[in-house]
Amino acid sequence: MTSSTAARARARVLDKTRVLVFALKAGGTAKTSSCTSLATIIAQRGYRVLVIDLDPQCNSSQVLGYSTFRDGQLGITDVMKEQAELKDVVVQARYQVDEIDPEDPDAAYELIENLFIVPGNIDDPDIDEAERLLNDHRNADSYWIRDGLAAMDGEWDAVLIDCPATYGRTTVTAFIALDKAVDGEVLPPVLCTFKEAGALVRLEKKLHEIRTQRKYITKGIAPEVKRILACAAPNSSYGTKEHFKTLAELEDAYGEVLLPLVHWSGEMPKIYRDDCPVPIFAPNSMPAQEYNKVATALGFERRT
């Protein structure tokens, strides 16, 4: 190793950053709900938090204040095209509190302290072309997220990555940001239906495939599922026999690694109606309280 590669290798160590990758190849399993809720709670507890929205649906961007971009605003596709660095497109998360004045649209928003996002622009014609953009602009191993995080070393206590429901190149580049120097994990949310139970097995297979590739082994890249988050869990007011059965099976199979349950709640879908994360618009609601317990279980105690 030359001295400059040694210096680069050292720079990759994200001393203080925890990285959580929300991924599962199954649509609508509470990846975005969990990512935005936990990011907000962790930020409220005094940590500096960055969300990276990798999903072309751009739902995390919507919930954290960027359903529309201002003229000239950069987003995730500009990073994919190598026209911007990850750090250049970071903006502060926010939610709308007033009518938009076209002269000064930003004035309508309240900023969320400690919470930032690399947003995706749903109106960008390139947004659905992530895999092609990465192929055209980034080299085969595509360490852009890993390197982009390293370039911001020390700036974030936690980075939460919201993935699309595929294991295409975009998601894989989030997985390979998890090397031994990073305190991170792939955190799959599941919705207590049989579809997600099967998807968990496939996620393990995919991660095993990555962990056993020589090119990744030599770099110490080892993405792992350490914990699983069961969401929209059935309770006395919601759930069919099938939901209860699947929950019991999940508890049997993964009991030790299951995080505290987040139960079904009618509050949760409102994040998309209000463009606002649940711990802000309904801080005392059941899901906000339950995600608070999840944040504690993940080790994010309130900072004084």
Ligand X SMILES: Nc1ncnc2c1ncn2[C@@H]1O[C@H](COP(=O)(O)OP(=O)(O)O)[C@@H](O)[C@H]1O
Residues at the contact surface with ligand X, assessed by CB under 6 A: 27-33, 59, 231-232, 262, 264-265, 268-269, 287
Residue with tokens 């690399």: 118
Q: Which is nearer to Mg ion, 32 or 265 (CB)?
A: 32
Cα gap 263→164, rounded to integer Å? 23
User: Which residue's CB atom is positioned nearest to Mg ion?
Assistant: 32
Cβ-contact 76, 53 below 8 angstroms: yes
Which residues, 23 to 52, sit near Mg ion by CB under 5 A? 31-32
What token pair was written down for 188?
């799959």
193 binds, among Mg ion, ligand X, none (CB under 5 to 8 A by kind): none
What token pair was written down for 145?
């997220």
Q: Which is nearer to ligand X, 12 or 31 (CB)?
A: 31
Q: Which is nearer to ligand X, 59 or 173 (CB)?
A: 59
265 binds, among Mg ion, ligand X, none (CB under 5 to 8 A by kind): ligand X
264 binds, among ligand X, Mg ion, none (CB under 5 to 8 A by kind): ligand X
Cα gap 181→128, rounded to integer Å? 32
How many alpha carbons fall within 13 Å on the CB side of residue 118?
Answer: 28
CB of 60 to Mg ion, least distance (A): 7
Burial class (CB in 10 A: 0-12, 13-18, 19+), 98: exposed
Which residues, 242 to 261, sit near Mg ion by CB under 5 A? none
CB of 231 to ligand X, least distance (A): 5
DSSP string, 101-128: -TTSGGGGEEEEEEEEEE---TT-TTGG
Q: Which is nearer to ligand X, 32 or 171 (CB)?
A: 32
Cα gap 12→181, rounded to integer Å? 8
170 binds, among ligand X, Mg ion, none (CB under 5 to 8 A by kind): none
CB of 270 to ligand X, least distance (A): 8
DSSP structure class, residue 94: E
Single out the residue of 17, 59, 173, 193 in contact with Mg ion (rule: CB under 5 A): 59
Q: Which is nearer to ligand X, 200 or 268 (CB)?
A: 268
Q: Which is nearer to ligand X, 59 or 171 (CB)?
A: 59
Distance from the Cα of residue 79 to its chain's centroid:
17
268 binds, among ligand X, Mg ion, none (CB under 5 to 8 A by kind): ligand X
Q: What is the Cα gyration radius of the chain?
A: 19
The binding site for Mg ion (CB under 5 A) comprises 31-32, 59
